[in-house]
Amino acid sequence: MSARRTRLLAAPLLALLVAPAARAEHGFILPSSTALAGDGNVVTFDAAGSDHVFFFDHRPLQLATIAVLRPDGSAGTPYNTLQGRFRSVFDLKLDQQGTWKVASVQTMIGGTFKLNGEERRVGGRGGPPRPQGGIGGPGGAGPDQRGGGDRPGGMADGRGPGAPGGDGPRRPPPVAFEDMPAEATDVHLIEDVRRAETFVTAGAPTTTVFTPTGKGLELDPITHPNAAAAGETARFRFLIDGKPASGLKVTVIPGGDRYRDEAGTIALTSGTDGIVAIRWPAAGMYWLGVEAEDRHPAQPRAETRRMSYAATIEVMTP
């Protein structure tokens, strides 16, 4: 495991809970191009979660979580969709001039409850998340969807240490949040909201796709992401539920960290206005990541909300 893997914030409550799914350290959507001229261009996207930036070594982002926003705010439609073992792939025809947003948004509920005095898990390794929206399409269930046998810390059938092939008592399998029994007690749940985005522009940049939804952790850029240039400074504002989020730890990593002794990480903290200023050291693809936690989940039965945001930004030569 890489020594550079980002660690989640620790809290006493979270120590009691099981995360909804094994969180890949770097979720990303990687476009083949981000700025194009002319009409009818096609961009190919790779969507994955990985230990190393823009390297396919962990899992695909589920196609069902992918949504496209066209420059006029309407929904776009990817095609040639394929979900593989380590990444999802799709094409997008830029049939409208301006800036497009491609995003994966996933909300899951995980944690624990008791039934007849026995502790049970919600989510976790026993089954797939149930994302809302997205493009769906062909590709079918990958290993993550069939029970998470590739996830660390246990087996998909609920066996822990000591079961046949283990060294502890057999645990009951986890259940989906929607299937929690009404008589459950000692309910402790986390709402886990993950967002990964990238932006591509055909012709002149536009800003409609950046209109905040007012829900969760979002990017409200002051500098257009497709205007990033080496040696220049970009200013990005982060919002939580539509309000500037101060004190957020922002991580920026240039692509290719797998092949470097040092990741080249740029660590920043958002100001009281939610803004960070990033001076790009060189041209290339960059991963930008932010995490936050609060006590304001949308799901009433959850106690904590865990949020993550990631963006892929191409920095050009000026």
Specify if 62 maps to a domain: yes
Question: Residue 170: what pLDDT?
Answer: 72
Q: What percent of the chain has pLDDT over 90?
A: 71
| Closest CA relative to residue 234, chosen from 288, 291, 310, 272 | 288
pLDDT category, 157, cuts 50, 70, 90? very low
Specify if 86 maps to a domain: yes
pLDDT surpassing 50 at residue 91: yes
pLDDT surpassing 90 at residue 96: yes
Question: Residue 287: what pLDDT?
Answer: 98
Specify if 261 maps to a domain: no
Task: Domain count for the chain, please give it.
Answer: 1
Q: Give the C-alpha distances (Å, rounded to integers) separating 255 from 6, 29, 50, 71, 262.
A: 16, 13, 12, 27, 12
Question: Residue 49: what pLDDT?
Answer: 95
Q: What percent of the chain has pLDDT over 70?
A: 78
Count CA within 13 A, CB hemisphere, residue 253: 25
Question: Residue 286: what pLDDT?
Answer: 98
CA dist 200 and 70 (Å) reads 10
Specify if 252 maps to a domain: no
Specify if 262 maps to a domain: no
Write out pLDDT tens, residues 31-84.
999 999 999 999 999 999 999 999 999 999 999 999 999 999 999 999 999 999
Following CA atoms 27, 29, 33, 35 in sequence, which dihedral angle do they give, to the nearest 10 degrees? -90
Write out pLDDT tens, residues 125-139.
333 333 444 554 433
Phi, psi of 316 (to 5 degrees): -95, 165
| Closest CA relative to residue 195, chosen from 142, 134, 137, 145 | 134
Higher pLDDT: 263 or 149? It is: 263
Specify if 5 maps to a domain: no
37 is in which domain, residue-wise?
14-112+191-210+283-315
Question: Residue 139: what pLDDT?
Answer: 36
Most confident of 140-144, 188-192, 257-261: 188-192
pTM comes to: 0.79
Question: Residue 169: what pLDDT?
Answer: 65
DSSP 39-54: SSEEEEEEEEEESSTT
> For residue 88, what are the β-bridge partners?
47, 83
Write out pLDDT tens, residues 232-265.
999 999 999 999 999 999 999 999 999 998 899 9
Answer for the pair 178, 110: CB distance below 8 angstroms, yes or no. Answer: no
pLDDT surpassing 90 at residue 143: no
Question: Residue 134: what pLDDT?
Answer: 55
Q: Where residue 19 sits, what CATH number does that domain have?
A: 2.60.40.3880
Phi, psi of 250 (to 5 degrees): -110, 130
Between 84-88, 105-109, 172-176, the lowest mean confidence (pLDDT) is in: 172-176
Average pLDDT over residues 183-194: 94
Question: Residue 172: what pLDDT?
Answer: 83
pLDDT surpassing 70 at residue 12: no
pLDDT surpassing 70 at residue 146: no
Question: Residue 171: what pLDDT?
Answer: 75
Between 53-67, 140-154, 293-307, the lowest mean confidence (pLDDT) is in: 140-154
Specify if 37 maps to a domain: yes
Specify if 96 maps to a domain: yes
Q: Give the C-alpha distances (Å, rounded to integers) separating 21 from 139, 300, 301.
A: 21, 20, 18
